[in-house]
A = this chain, B = another copy of it.
Amino acid sequence: MRDEEFIRGAVPMTKSEVRAVSISKLELEEDSVVYDVGAGTGSVSVEAAGAVRKGRVFAIEKKKEAVELLYANKNRFSRNNMTVIEGTAPAALKELPAPTHVFLGGTSGSMDGILEAVLEKNPKARVVINVISLESLAEAVSCLKKRDIEGEIVSIQVSKARKAGAYHLMEGQNPVYVISFGGEKKEEIS
């Protein structure tokens, strides 16, 4: 889905290319139960909710302003299987059903506690984390080491052409680290 389809405020949004990679790495199934923690504008939630037609997506967000955008985008795309949760993770996850897939887009320094809560609910949950700061990257690496998890870590650097007269100038976007691990990979093969 294109970035411009979403209703956006001043809230930062995962760009379409990084969103596509992150959702691909989630390896969603039709009936997945997805947490989108730090859901922001909801671009990941909306796209995930479109993929898990028989499943559910919980979009958890603590910022008032973003929560409104979440509702706006949920409505815009008629995602009836998407539930907006206003609150702070991990506390806000307590009453939710166990997830099969978890996307961490923003963890405000609580990555370890959030992972703890998530993996307690489902030790085999598939987890994908996006980080843009060096500190969160170190936090993610440390969270994985602590749990003896060997995840996949990629960084994605996108540049996009901008038209300037007859020229296309390539403009660098901010690099994003995408960390992923876990999951019960169902064989797609018959």
Q: Which residues of A contact B (CB under 8 A)?
A: 1-2, 5, 16-17, 19-21, 23-25, 27, 50, 76-78, 132-138, 141-142, 150, 152-161, 163-164, 166-175, 188-190
Contact across chains for A135 and B172 when beta carbons are under 8 A apart:
no
Q: Contacts A21-B20, A76-B189, A189-B77 given: A141-B152 contact, CB under 8 Å?
A: no
B residues in contact with A169, CB < 8 Å: 132-133, 174
Report the minimal beta-carbon distance from A41 to chain B, rounded to whole angstroms.
15
Since A20-B25, A138-B138, A153-B161 are in contact, a sample of 15 more A-B pairs with Cβ atoms closer than 8 Å, ordered by chain A residue number, is A1-B27, A16-B25, A17-B24, A17-B154, A17-B156, A76-B189, A77-B188, A134-B141, A134-B167, A134-B168, A137-B138, A153-B168, A155-B170, A157-B158, A157-B172
Chain B contacts of A2 at CB under 8 A?
Answer: 27
B152 touches A155 (CB 8 A): no
Sort A-B residue pairs by CB-CB distance and give the 10 closest, nearest first.
Answer: A172-B172, A20-B24, A138-B138, A153-B161, A133-B167, A157-B157, A134-B168, A78-B190, A155-B159, A20-B20
